[in-house]
Structure 1
Amino acid sequence: MTWFQAIVLGIVQGLTEFLPISSSAHIRIVSELWFGGDAGASFTAVIQLGTEAAVIIYFAKDIWRLIKAWFRGLLNAEARADPDYKLAWYVIIGSIPISLLGVLFKDEIRSGLRNLWITAMVLMIFAVILAVADETAKLKRDSLTMKDSIFMGLAQAMALIPGVSRSGGTLTAGLFLGLNRESAATYSFLLAIPAVFGAGIFSIPDVLDRSGPGLQADIPQTIAATAVSFVVGYACVAWLLRYVSKHSYMVFVWYRIALGAVLCGLLATGVVDPI
């Protein structure tokens, strides 16, 4: 991998992580179409640490409040009535599915599921699901329940398949559950922190081992891509929260369908190798 490629992929990661269009799919597609090789699931997981660092800084006060409430609740039964104590548990519980499945299906995630035919089809299929959720959403609730955390956690786990979109899956689930868009987006951002940091740290040894196929980034290039994703991602967090409070997700639905259709065309004509 060249420095230019690393910077471009960092920008792509930062621009797409928080949008319901799948950052992992975009990293996969851009690296294949533009650079002629797969940057790999491990590289993708590591540079996501940059965008999650942006989330931590943006929501620092909220995260610190949740942490304090969680520890207070562990030590004091009366403090367990605090909504922040419950929300902290919801973030922990919602992170379990993607953590377990990520470990169990590690090899398949890094190989078979990165087939571009799968990516293209999943982009379009989940675009339709997002459209249905967006059009039928009641948007009445702004607080979560245990059921919400489990359902949205399972939806997040589906993002192990490039094309689903971690944020897209959780936002779609939140809409189906009747949460308003801003509440669903905020929980989606918080829910990503344990899962993405875990996956990123877990994948660091694989990035250090540059013997695999495809594009291989060295340590300085990976750090640079992560830093770029942090800067771009921080700007996108603020923008998305403002956007979702006033707009539907249909623009992302049509974008996903168009991208998936174009990718299918390139694959069908042999312009792009699916593997």
Structure 2
Amino acid sequence: MEPLQVAVLALLQGFTEFLPISSSAHLILVPVLTGWPDQGLAFDVAVHVGTLAAVLAYFRDRLRPLLAGWWSSLRGEGLTAEGRLAWAVILGTVPVGLAGLVFGDLVETRLRSPLVIALATVGFGLLLGWADRRGGGARDEGRLTWRDVAVVGCAQALALVPGTSRSGITITAGLALGLSREAAARYSFLLSIPVIVLAGGLKTLELAQSGDPVPWGALLAGAGLSAASAYLCIRIFMAWIERAGMMPFVLYRLALGGVLLAVFA
């Protein structure tokens, strides 16, 4: 890979992974516009490791009590508020894991068309706008019910459809359930941790079985750039979201969907 391709794709992955604008739509559009070859499985693993490092670093102070509460619940010491949220993150990941096992082949073979991505980008963007205008409640992620966890978890499974945006659909569900914008975003980002671990682990297994050569320089650069851009993105997003709302992202999704339709339809 050329250095420019490494930089653009890594920064793109870092900035779009946690924003509600669909990273898959961007990663498909850029190679078409630039004529770059596919970056390969190893690079995909590297940039996912980078985004995982970013979200772990940002929530490091939040994760320690969550892990302690979860471990205490396993030892039969009762379910604290922190332990309950930890279980909410774990259980909220189950639907997307099951959906991936059942529908993974369908997603890879039938749903990666540019038209599907364009329609999902527009359709779920409009849904995000509706939820933002309707929702924006006062509840935080610590007051999630198990029904809420099931709803957000099932919504996250829809992110298997390219163009949906994992963060976008989970924030949409959180807002519709009455979470505040910040709480919906925090829960969405916490949910990303097991999802990225599972997806990265699967890609790593595929890479190990492929026997392809590993371009370590490009991988390290990609991981570092994606980590830095993702961390910056999370900080800005969390500081800005309550004031600005979701409408800028809705408008961007509509514009991006229009570009995709113009290019591919």
Per the normalisation by structure 1, the TM-score is 0.88
The gaps in structure 2 that reach 5 residues or longer are none
Q: State the match for 2:84 in structure 1.
A: 86
Q: State the match for 2:251 in structure 1.
A: 254
- Between the aligned partners of 2:41 and 2:120, the Cα distance in structure 1 is 17
Which runs of structure 2 are paired with 1:7-156 in the superposition (5 Å)? 7-39=7-39, 43-44=43-44, 46-77=46-77, 79-80=78-79, 82-142=80-140, 143-156=143-156
Post-superposition shift, 1:45?
5.6
Post-superposition shift, 1:267?
1.4
Post-superposition shift, 1:263?
1.2
Post-superposition shift, 1:191?
0.6
Post-superposition shift, 1:27?
1.3
- Between the aligned partners of 1:186 and 1:48, the Cα distance in structure 2 is 19
Query: Contact 1:97–1:154 (CA<8 Å) still a contact in 2?
Result: yes
Q: State the match for 2:162 in structure 1.
A: 162
Post-superposition shift, 1:43?
4.9
Q: State the match for 2:260 in structure 1.
A: 263
- Between the aligned partners of 1:110 and 1:42, the Cα distance in structure 2 is 18
Aligned to 2:21, what secondary structure does the other structure show? Answer: coil
Q: Tell me which amino acid in the other structure corresponds to 1:258.
A: A
Post-superposition shift, 1:250?
0.5
Q: Does 2:219 correspond to 1:222?
A: yes
1:130-176, Cα deviation, whole Å (9 max, x unpaired)? 11101111412112111111111111121112210010010000010
Query: Contact 1:207–1:217 (CA<8 Å) still a contact in 2?
Result: no
Q: Tell me which amino acid in the other structure corresponds to 1:238.
A: R
Q: State the match for 1:273 in structure 2.
A: none
Q: How large is the Cα RMSD of the aligned pairs?
A: 2.1
Query: Contact 1:49–1:226 (CA<8 Å) still a contact in 2?
Result: yes
- Between the aligned partners of 1:40 and 1:171, the Cα distance in structure 2 is 30
Does the C-alpha gap of structure 1 residues 106 and 147 become closer, same or farther in structure 2, counting only changes over 3 Å? same
Percent identical residues: 39
Post-superposition shift, 1:222?
3.1
Which runs of structure 2 are paired with 1:229-248 in the superposition (5 Å)? 229-248=226-245
Does the C-alpha gap of structure 1 residues 220 and 110 become closer, same or farther in structure 2, counting only changes over 3 Å? farther
Aligned to 1:55, what secondary structure does the other structure show? Answer: helix
Does the C-alpha gap of structure 1 residues 258 and 46 become closer, same or farther in structure 2, counting only changes over 3 Å? same
Does the C-alpha gap of structure 1 residues 59 and 139 become closer, same or farther in structure 2, counting only changes over 3 Å? same
| Structure 1 range deviating more: 216-225 or 155-164 | 216-225
1:109-136, Cα deviation, whole Å (9 max, x unpaired)? 3332221111111100111111110111
Does the C-alpha gap of structure 1 residues 175 and 152 become closer, same or farther in structure 2, counting only changes over 3 Å? same
Per the normalisation by structure 2, the TM-score is 0.91
Aligned to 1:245, what secondary structure does the other structure show? Answer: helix
Post-superposition shift, 1:31?
2.2
